[in-house]
Amino acid sequence: MTRIPGLTTFLASSVRRLTRATSVCSQRKLLVTRDLGPDTMSLLYAREDLEVVTWPEDRDCERSWLLDNVPGAAGAIVMVTEKIDEEVLERAGPNLKVISTTSVGFEHVDLQGLYRRKIRLGYTPDVLNNAVADVAVMLALMAGRLADQGVTLVKEGKWPAHNFGPFHFVGPQLSPVPSISTTRTVGFLGFGRIAQATLARLAAFGVTHCIYSTNPSSPHDRERDAALAEQLKLRAVARVDLDTLARDSDVLILLAPGGAATRHVIDEAFLRKMGSRAVLVNVARGTLVDSDALAKALREGWIWGAAVDVVEGEPQVGADHPLVREPRCVVVPHIGSATFETRLGMVRTAATNALAGLDEVDMPAELDVAARLARLTPRV
């Protein structure tokens, strides 16, 4: 007998779908815009009361498929790549109770539209904090230590002719050197949980001072800062204005939310205030940085180097993008949360959020949409 690879699986899956289709009248529809892996999909399939409709391909879900399949859905598990806007919500109709996004960000979701329709929003904060903090430290080191130039030099076969000299191919050091440099200051734009997780790592490198700037309307938690300084054995944790942040950071790590309020906060004026051996890391949102200004700052040596996991306009960032062309800029394709463990944690949270939304119980991680909208109301 000729065996056709995958045929059994295909048939079994067809039978399962057929079976589900016949019982559709008693089932609520859960739309899933990406295969979440066997462990997590089995959580969803185990629910007899749900018709699980999943985008079948191993690539970003097409908008047309989403629009065709969302009508009548009671819930949807989506990725950061799907825009959940008025059109999608309108098409979905009145059954829709919950959107569960497999991301910590929710810029792709129309919060006003959700609020008006009383649709709940699940997201995946915290589970990715460690993964992003790891990448923040990696990028800070890569930018300072000329990692990409080193890799490129070797790949181009230039190591044999590369001379050793005490000050050849050197960069600024993240950790202090006794008797040479005794203080190292890390700055944060935004000082939430990922920033604090990053700070905990950097403290172990011997960083001595932490400064941060955050939303001016948020309360200044001096007790928290003092506790952090004591716990991490830092000489100071201090909230500062943007001028001080630019001037005093040896390493500046961006971990602020995106959106109109923070767009291009890192602009030419800010970058001109930074030190010539300072390093800039963006692991938050591309919109925080004026890419042209940063490329200019690197080209003209206002700062030492930069490393970014996010770029404004991504993923439409080609080989000719000014930051990609800049040797002193490391650009990686938004890999902050890209680990087996974190992504497994994210899809599990997204699935349990969605099920909790459908069951009208507490979600593991629900965004308070009303409170968020109140915070987003422009201040005069």
* 254-273: contacts with its own copies (CB under 8 A): none
Catalytic residue among 162, 168, 220, 334: 334
- Of 64 and 179, nearer to its own copies (C-beta) is 179
Q: Which of 223, 340, 361, 379 binds its own copies (CB under 8 A)?
A: 340
Could you give the strand order of the β-sheet that contains 209-213, starting from the edge strand earlier in sequence? 236-239, 209-213, 185-189, 251-254, 279-282, 305-308, 329-331
Q: Identify residue 27 by its one-letter amino acid code.
A: Q
Residue 43 binding its own copies, by CB under 8 A: no
Residue in 150, 146, 124 with CA at minimum distance from that of residue 365: 124
3-class SS of residue 112: helix
Q: What is the 3-state secondary structure (H, E, C) of 24-45?
A: HHHCEEEEECCCCCHHHHHHHH
Residue 314 Cβ vs its own copies, minimum distance, rounded to whole Å: 7
Q: Is 334 among the residues known to form the active site?
A: yes
Judged by CB under 8 A, the chain residues 177 through 196 that form the site for its own copies are 177-181
Respond yes or no on whether the N-terminal peptide bond of residue 257 is cis (omega within 30° of 0). Answer: no
Residue 97 Cβ vs its own copies, minimum distance, rounded to whole Å: 23
Strand 73-78, strand 50-54: pairing: unpaired
Residue 201 binding its own copies, by CB under 8 A: yes
Strand partners, 280: 252, 306
- Of 78 and 245, nearer to its own copies (C-beta) is 78
Strand partners, 100: 77, 122
Task: Please identify, among the stretches 22-30, 67-75, 110-118, 152-160, the one whose residues bind its own copies according to the rule CB under 8 A.
Answer: 152-160
Q: Which of 318, 371, 377, 380 binds its own copies (CB under 8 A)?
A: 318
Residue 208 Cβ vs its own copies, minimum distance, rounded to whole Å: 13
Residue 342 binding its own copies, by CB under 8 A: yes
- Residue 303 token pair: 């700062």
Residue in 25, 72, 30 with CA at minimum distance from that of residue 54: 30
Residue 204 binding its own copies, by CB under 8 A: yes
Residue 134 binding its own copies, by CB under 8 A: yes
- Residue 113 token pair: 């539209």
From CA 269, how far away is CA 253, in angstroms rounded? 17
Length of the chain equals 380
Q: Which of 50, 104, 121, 203 binds its own copies (CB under 8 A)?
A: 203
Residue 332 binding its own copies, by CB under 8 A: yes
Residue 380 binding its own copies, by CB under 8 A: no
Task: Please identify, among the stretches 77-85, 185-193, 233-241, 258-266, the one whose residues bind its own copies according to the rule CB under 8 A.
Answer: 77-85
Those residues whose C-beta lies under 8 Å from the C-beta of residue 270, and which sit 6 or more positions away, are: 242, 246
Distance of alpha carbon 102 from the chain centroid: 11
Residue 344 Cβ vs its own copies, minimum distance, rounded to whole Å: 6
User: Under rule CB under 8 A, how many of the chain's residues touch its own copies?
Assistant: 86
Residue 343 binding its own copies, by CB under 8 A: yes
Q: Which of 138, 186, 194, 253 binds its own copies (CB under 8 A)?
A: 138
From CA 282, how far away is CA 198, in angstroms rounded? 12
Residue 317 binding its own copies, by CB under 8 A: yes
Q: Which of 142, 234, 303, 369 binds its own copies (CB under 8 A)?
A: 142
DSSP summary character for residue 109: B
Cβ contact 319:292 at 8 Å: no
- Of 121 and 174, nearer to its own copies (C-beta) is 174
Residue 301 Cβ vs its own copies, minimum distance, rounded to whole Å: 14
Residue 64 binding its own copies, by CB under 8 A: no
Residue 209 binding its own copies, by CB under 8 A: no
Question: Which residues participate in catalysis according to the annotation?
Answer: 334
